[in-house]
Chain A
Amino acid sequence: MTAQFPPPVPEFEQRLLSHEELEAALRDIGARRYHNLHPFHRLLHDGKLSKDQVRAWALNRYYYQAMIPVKDAALLARLPDAQLRRIWRQRIVDHDGDFEGDGGIERWLKLAEGVGFERDYVLSTKGILSATRFSVDAYVHFVSERSLLEAIASSLTEMFSPTIISERVAGMLKNYDFITKETLAYFDKRLTQAPRDADFALDYVKRHATTPEMQRAAMDALTFKCNVLWTQLDALYFAYVAPGMVPPDAWQPGEGLVAENTAQASSAAAAGAPAAFSGSDVPRLPRGVRLRFDEVRNKHVLLAPERTFDLDDNAVAVLKLVDGQNTVSQIARILGQTYDADPAVIEADILPMLAGLAQKRVLER
């Protein structure tokens, strides 16, 4: 397959853009250069990668995930006022968690473990491609050394990530029998976290890029970040798809995996017949299962026989609409209106979630 590289960003006039024009220009960069357009990503989400190719992706991408809080801490250290720091520090909390076993990095480790890796091997990062390390480190340096405006603008790829995440989740669940919904827990959170993060950063860039030069610097920063992501997929493609040149010391299929029989057992479990739902089904909570707001902990929980399910924001949004009346499609439509998203993508996302709950016998139809 031939890689289709996007055309370069068009030159803008040397005048100050309105906020709307600036946003449109930034979004245009994503529309042309964001890594959902990369051939490797298309292969990934269309289910055309082998298990080892998915493993290579998960392993390399871990380094990016692990360095994100380092990048955000560097940025945080430069923010001059408490209000901004309060907002930005949330990103570090999202990735590092509040305790052992919590947070986005941990969820990515779960994903890597879910595709068969030993945890310690992933943590060591010794099997990643040099290009992965170089790009990610370049990103950390960029954020530490460039202006605050450029540093914040470089995070704006998050504006485009809900699209890629829902494509990825739906595609991977559909196409790879070794990927379970649990394995993809990382993306569950990012679906709601990323838009929140991006809204703030976009607003900041609009308000602080007050000259044509600053606006161009912000656009360049976003382009740079797109390239950081793109380059990582280039390297993966080169090493693990075609021509298949794996550099010395980089991960080779078979390395760093837990004993194959254990991995097979878990994928066999995942492949077992789920209590599948379709769009026309009407889900309901049976007696003995209750969605409740926990005032002490300030969050919703699902109470069920002898157990409590912690819910992420997506699950709460869905379960609030599970009333024994709405069909799955109706729930997806309502959520689509609320979050300004494609109901078909939402439906593809919530079907496995509902099936997972049904399998645990806490949801019926």
Chain B
Amino acid sequence: MNAPTPAPSPAEVIPAPVGLLAELTHRCPLRCPYCSNPLELDRRSAELDTQTWLRVLTEAAGLGVLHVHLSGGEPTARPDIVEITAKCAELGLYSNLITSGVGGALAKLDALYDVGLDHVQLSVQGVDAANAEKIGGLKNAQPQKMQFAARVTELGLPLTLNSVIHRGNIHEVPGFIDLAVKLGAKRLEVAHTQYYGWAYVNRAALMPDKAQVDESIRIVEAARERLKGQLVIDLVVPDYYAKYPKACAGGWGRKLMNVTPQGKVLPCHAAETIPGLEFWYVSDHSLGDIWTKSPAFAAYRGTSWMKEPCRSCERREKDWGGCRCQALALTGDAANTDPACSLSPLHAKMRDLAKEEAAETPPDYIYRSIGTNVQNPLSEKAPL
């Protein structure tokens, strides 16, 4: 006689993931100093092959993933980007191309449209071409982006512009809004820089001051009213000036999986900065096993890992303690409350740090590149 298996209690049921961030490659013609890729970038020779990506997508669909974000680096640098996108369409997965719009992107756009690409998110570094190209570190990028955007809307594909905001372009927020309208975008992301990866290294060069941040928020709110029904504007406010942290990736291991170019599966794109986590690879395990069983996903899922003030906080299932990577980077312990939270004992220090840096003359950018030996700031003592 078989003993019945006890049903897991609701708290133990792991919700199915809704999004897959597929970092197809780390190669990119741009060199943005706030890139969210890790400091140590995967080389082309280490990238997953086409068949493996197709298998990963099939497993993702079976697992309950609805949205696939085809990202990078520059995803159109992959010769098989059309094949990968076609597979998404075949599986009913919503495909979102996150692109710089430069290099070979335009040449592949029509083919992507034909196989059923759902949405394009185009990054714009600035409005003024010279400023944009200084930030992105690539000459002649801006005209290519404008041409690319024009073709996206000509095809009837929905377009989102993504602008990462920092002290080098925060004065251009009104310009980004006008540009989005002019290009026929339906959405605009005004995303203040989140200070992980390359942005952490460049924080002093990127951090705006509080008054500038407040002004940018006012501008966005006014534009939302004015452009209601025409343009949706999503605003990501900078952590360092926030009251509560954001639920990183919708909560650790709750909504999102991130597959790196070489097939490592992460709960968020910066998770590798946390020492001691064991990540599994798609070459060794199915995506389903990785989601439910891999140690890295289990490490900070739910609330049982929390310390005070998170543990007893009524917001603990709203923001899930904020960002583990930021907690580690700034406090030295990934299980601490994200200092972006006003309830963290270190919050005031974090804010002061931002104010001090914003008040100083910005240093030059350290541009993102493969194979540069950049000192990993997390190997230093935590700064708070």
Nearest to A265 among chain B residues (CB) is: B221
Q: Are A306's CB and B160's CB within 8 A?
A: yes
The answer to whether B228 and A273 have CB atoms under 8 Å apart is yes
Q: Tell me whether A73 is interfacial, beta carbon within 8 Å.
A: no
Shortest Cβ distance from A273 into B: residue: B228
Is the pair B64, A296 in contact by a Cβ cutoff of 8 Å?
yes
Which one of B10, B119, B160, B228 contacts A272 once the chains associate, using CB atoms below 8 Å? B228
Segment from A82-90, A230-238, A283-291, A345-353 that makes contact with B: A283-291
Contact present for B67 and A308 (CB under 8 Å): yes
Report the interface size class on chain A: 20 to 34
Across the interface, which residues of A come within 8 angstroms of B228, CB to CB?
272-275, 359
Task: With A303-B66, A303-B67, A306-B160 as known contacts, state yes or no: A361 contacts B232, CB within 8 Å.
Answer: yes
Known A-B contacts A288-B157, A294-B66, A360-B232; A308 and B187 likewise in contact (beta carbons under 8 Å): no
A294-B229 contact in complex given A287-B158, A305-B158, A305-B186, C-beta closer than 8 Å: no
Contact B66–A301 (Cβ < 8 Å): yes
Q: A275-B229, A288-B119 are in contact. Are A305 and B187 (CB under 8 A)?
A: yes
The 8 A CB mask of B180-224 against A (1 = contact, 0 = none) is 000000110000000000000000000000000000000000000
Tell me the bound Cα distance from A301 to B67 in angstroms.
12
Assembled-state Cα–Cα distance A301/B156 (Å): 22
A290 contacts across to B, CB distance below 8 A: 94, 118
Q: Does B343 contact A (CB under 8 A)?
A: no
A306 touches B16 (CB 8 A): no
A303 to B91 CA separation, bound complex (whole angstroms): 14
Question: What is the total of A-B residue contacts with beta carbons within 8 Å?
Answer: 70
Q: Which of A100, A290, A297, A305 is most buried by chain B, counting CB atoms within 10 A of its CB?
A: A305
Whether B96 pairs with A308 at a CB distance below 8 angstroms is no
Which B residues, 100 to 154, have Cβ-Cβ distances below 8 Å to chain A?
A: 118-119, 121
A292 at interface by CB-CB < 8 Å: yes
For residue B160, which residues in chain A have a CB less than 8 angstroms away from its CB?
A: 305-306
Cβ contact within 8 Å between B118 and A358: no
Chain B contact residue count (CB 8 A cutoff): 28
Tell me whether B118 and A303 are in contact (CB under 8 A).
yes
Contacts of B234 in A (CB 8 A): 306
The answer to whether A308 touches B18, judged by C-beta atoms less than 8 angstroms apart, is yes
Does B63 sit at the interface, judged by CB under 8 A?
yes
Chain A residues closer than 8 Å to B121, beta-carbon distance = 305-306
Q: Does B225 have its Cβ within 8 Å of any Cβ on chain A?
A: yes
Pairwise interchain contact A272-B94, C-beta atoms closer than 8 A: no
Residues of B within 8 A of A361 (CB): 158, 186-187, 229-232
Tell me whether B67 and A306 are in contact (CB under 8 A). yes
CA A99 to CA B16, docked complex, whole Å:
16
**Are A306 and B157 in contact, with the CB atoms below 8 A?**
no
Q: A345 CA to B18 CA in the complex, in Å?
A: 36
Residue B92 interfacial (CB < 8 Å): yes
Interface flag for B317 (CB, 8 Å): yes
- Whether the Cβ atoms of A305 and B63 lie closer than 8 Å is no
Q: Check A305–B64 contact: CB distance below 8 A.
A: no
Interface string of B63-100 (1 = CB under 8 A from A): 11011000000000000000000000000101010000
Extra pairs beyond A273-B229, A274-B229 (5, CB < 8 Å): A294-B64, A296-B64, A303-B94, A308-B66, A361-B186
Subset of 13 A-B contacts with CB under 8 Å: A272-B225, A288-B118, A288-B119, A296-B62, A296-B63, A301-B66, A303-B94, A305-B160, A306-B96, A306-B121, A361-B186, A361-B229, A361-B230
Give chain A's interface residues, CB within 8 Å of chain B.
Answer: 98-100, 268-269, 272-275, 286-290, 292, 294, 296-297, 301, 303, 305-306, 308, 358-361
Nearest 8 A-B pairs (CB), nearest first?
A: A296-B64, A288-B158, A275-B229, A305-B119, A303-B94, A361-B186, A288-B119, A359-B229
